[in-house]
Amino acid sequence: MANCSAGQCRIECDGGCSCVYEYEADRCTCECFESGGSAGWNLGLTAHVVVSITDLPLGQVATMFDGLIARDVMVPASRLQHKVHLKMERVAVSHALEELGLRTEKRAEAR
């Protein structure tokens, strides 16, 4: 059983989980690996957050961050299924992504 928490949000999942809390807006989101949802936020890379990830494949973590930030999140194909654990408090989104080995690039314009 995986447990994640950030700010006032907490979640318990059969598989992996993740939670992110944004300080400035006082909001949080948590996901179980099985859910596949996305928060649809538009955070900048300098937004300060709490990040709690337990036993999630890096590809799922990248998908979660892709729904939270205003940029595309890139993950090395060879690490897509690598399970990660991370707990960081009051860090910039960019620092959390760096710690996970993820990078970003500007979103392509919709055609």
pLDDT tens digits for 61-77? Answer: 999 898 889 899 999 99
For residues 39 and 28, give the distance between their C-alpha atoms in angstroms, rounded to a whole number.
Answer: 9
Residue 62 lies in a domain: yes
- Counting every residue written for the chain, the total comes to 111
Give the phi and the psi of residue 4 in degrees, each rounded to 5. Answer: -135, 150
pLDDT tens digits for 45-102? Answer: 999 999 999 999 999 999 989 888 989 999 999 999 999 999 999 999 999 999 999 9
Domain containing residue 81 = 2-106
Residue 53 lies in a domain: yes
> Count of domains in the chain?
1
Residue 90 lies in a domain: yes
Nearest one of 95, 99, 96, 101 to 78, comparing CA atoms: 101
- Assess whether pLDDT exceeds 60 at residue 111: no
Residue 30 lies in a domain: yes
- In the numeric block, the tokens 């194909």 are attached to 77
- In the numeric block, the tokens 């992996």 are attached to 16
Residue 111 lies in a domain: no
